[in-house]
Structure 1
Amino acid sequence: MSVLPYTFVLLGAILWGTTGTAQTFLPDSAHPFIISAGRSTVGGFSLLIIMILLKKIKFKTWPWKKTLYAAICISLFQLLFFSSVKLTGVAIASVVAIGSAPVFSGLIEWVFLKLRPSRIWGISTAFALIGCIFLFMNKGEITINPVGVMYSLVAGFGFAMFTISSKSLLQKEETIPVVAMTFSVSSILLLPFWFLYDVSWLLNAGNVSIIFYLGLATTSVAYVLYGRGLHKIPSSSALTLSLAEPTTAALLGVFIVGEVLSMTSWIGIILLLGSIVVLTVGSRSNNKVIVEI
């Protein structure tokens, strides 16, 4: 099994890890629901227009039910994740949401799809979860909001469901059309929020540019990379590699935002990176652990 699909997923996760840092440049009046709606709109429709021009989407035969399900899952993930970021900060929101997703995915695959998680996945996920604990044992630096943590946990479940449903969708359609359609439908589902919350902050060109970055880089490009990799590897493995997101978020928090991490947090980063190495190298050297859905 080629290491390329794992690399695609990893690069996508790194791009996701820049989301929190980008948000720090938005004003406090930027509501999480509007950020979610804007991100889906820019990311989805920018790809959709290109795919329509290239005649890559056949609307009559498109798997609408699977797309709607994936769009609902990613919409809920975004709403809950960005709300969690607002309540408990980028670090905790990222690690709880993305850290819990591979666990949920492995359990879902095991219970409902009768696919027992591989030993490599188990070892890698254990490394990652222990790393997450160390990463955010930052005394006095981060305030843990129970409601925010709950939002992140549900967001993690939503992201796991999105990954599994997307994998099923990718078996029928190409990656870029799938991402384009999923996020375009998501933007339609999130449309009502544009009329419920203040959007005056979008009159600022700088704020609009950040939304475009979130839509193009952390949505269009990131999810296309993630989708291409996901098509070739198990959902649980893809989600474990997604733990590169909180690692990236933590590093950017230190070097860009100016957050201070303790020694335990740095140990956590090393463990998270170790989990990625275990999963990538282990899966490449042992083809038996690769089980397609």
Structure 2
Amino acid sequence: MLPVLAVLVAAVLFGTTGTSQALGPDGATPLGVGAVRLVVGGTALAVLGFALARRRAASGRANPPLSARALVLMAVTGACLAAYQPLFFLGTARNGVAVGTVIALGSSPVIAGIVEWLVTRRAPGATWLGATALSTVGVALLAFGGSAGGTGADPAGLLASLGAGTAFAIFANAQRRLMAGGWDPFTVAGAMGLGSAVCALGLLPFADLAWVGAASGVAMAAWLGLATVAAAYTLFTWGLDRLTAATAATLTLAEPLTASLLGILLLGERLSPLAVAGLCVLAGGLVLLAWGSRTPRPFAVEG
């Protein structure tokens, strides 16, 4: 149960991301926020992850020899985390925090399960299939229901959110493959943080960073980097070490639920009755998967 709780806590932290940006200073663009978030958070995640990995290595958990395959997978995790940021923030900017986050994270379990199926040749179990079916219905209702005006999701924002969900699913699977090969989860998290920070440095020259000079900009950058990246991804990776990628991705549907509540309560966003129904169906999928994962085993396949 602890791995499930770790991923759920991480998902709640993830869920504050869109609201933090919306409450941040004017002039903060999706590209700028995403790049700064990763420079701060990726660096902190690398420091924290490698420090914890060294501590575990001293107690007997050693990593396997570094191979070309492991290097490629580590590079994939960093690149996908870097790609996720601007896509996610663009989706929430176009469709609102509630809808944008739900579409991004609601799509990732389906993609994660398909990728895992293709890589491992093992079909996800009945619990994942049932939870993902409910989640897919919930996302569809949200996409078509949209805001209280019933206008549905903005197409560009929808594509950006789906792209973010794809990036999340790919790096979750890449992390899972590394850990299945014997790599310590904190080493994997540290490598992802380092790779994403390096990628983000390349984005900074193209972003407007004037907002960082404001006190609210500093506070937003600190929260987004330290809480929603360093702390959240450390918890997520630790939980992923004991769950399948498909299960972990579906558990992160607590993120859109959190984001939706924050969007409604703090930002005054209003959802249509169809979108509210979608949130309820999504919650049902999350509860189903959490119940089915209450006794997880390392590297086990759901069902």
TM-score, normalization by structure 2: 0.86
Asked if 1:202 is matched to 2:212, the reply is: yes
Aligned mates of 1:130, 1:273 — CA distance in 2: 11
Aligned mates of 1:282, 1:81 — CA distance in 2: 29
| Alignment match, 2:131 | 124
Q: How much has 1:270 moved relative to structure 2?
A: 2.6
Q: How much has 1:275 moved relative to structure 2?
A: 1.3
| Alignment match, 2:17 | 19
| Alignment match, 2:188 | 178
| Alignment match, 1:89 | 96
State the AA in 2 paired with 1:42: V
Structure 1 pair 51–255 and aligned structure 2 pair: CA distance change class (3 A): closer
Match of 1:112, SS state, is helix
Mapped contact 1:127–1:274 kept (Cα < 8 A): yes
Alignment of structure 1 residues 62-101 onto 2, 5 Å: 63-101=70-108
Mapped contact 1:89–1:142 kept (Cα < 8 A): no
Asked if 1:235 is matched to 2:245, the reply is: yes
Structure 1 pair 10–55 and aligned structure 2 pair: CA distance change class (3 A): closer
Aligned mates of 1:279, 1:241 — CA distance in 2: 7
Mapped contact 1:170–1:227 kept (Cα < 8 A): no
Match of 2:157, SS state, is helix
Q: How much has 1:264 moved relative to structure 2?
A: 3.7
Deviations 1:154-199 (A, max 9, x none): 2211111100001122343333332232122211112122222221
Aligned mates of 1:167, 1:128 — CA distance in 2: 22
Structure 1 residue corresponding to 2:115, chosen from 108, 114, 119: 108
Deviations 1:205-264 (A, max 9, x none): 221111110011111111111111111111111111111111111111111112223444
RMSD across aligned positions (CA): 2.7
Aligned mates of 2:170, 2:53 — CA distance in 1: 29
Structure 1 pair 238–192 and aligned structure 2 pair: CA distance change class (3 A): same
| Alignment match, 1:222 | 232
| Alignment match, 2:156 | 147
| Alignment match, 1:7 | 5
TM-score, normalization by structure 1: 0.88
Structure 1 pair 257–67 and aligned structure 2 pair: CA distance change class (3 A): same
Deviations 1:35-70 (A, max 9, x none): 112111211222434566678299996543321111
Structure 2 residue corresponding to 1:30, chosen from 24, 28, 31: 28
Mapped contact 1:47–1:176 kept (Cα < 8 A): no
| Alignment match, 2:260 | 250
Asked if 1:156 is matched to 2:176, the reply is: no
State the AA in 2 paired with 1:40: L
Mean Cα displacement is larger for which, 136-145 or 81-90?
Answer: 136-145
| Alignment match, 1:275 | 285
In structure 1, list runs of 5 or more residues that go unmatched. none
State the AA in 1 paired with 2:282: L
Match of 1:15, SS state, is helix
In structure 2, list runs of 5 or more residues that go unmatched. none
State the AA in 1 paired with 2:191: M
Mapped contact 1:83–1:151 kept (Cα < 8 A): yes
Mapped contact 2:48–2:230 kept (Cα < 8 A): no
State the AA in 1 paired with 2:169: A
Q: What is the percentage of aligned positions where both structures have the same residue?
A: 35
Deviations 1:68-120 (A, max 9, x none): 11111111112221222223322232122111111111111222320101111
Structure 1 pair 206–165 and aligned structure 2 pair: CA distance change class (3 A): same
Q: How much has 1:282 moved relative to structure 2?
A: 2.0
Match of 2:293, SS state, is helix
Aligned mates of 2:191, 2:248 — CA distance in 1: 21
Q: How much has 1:140 moved relative to structure 2?
A: 0.9
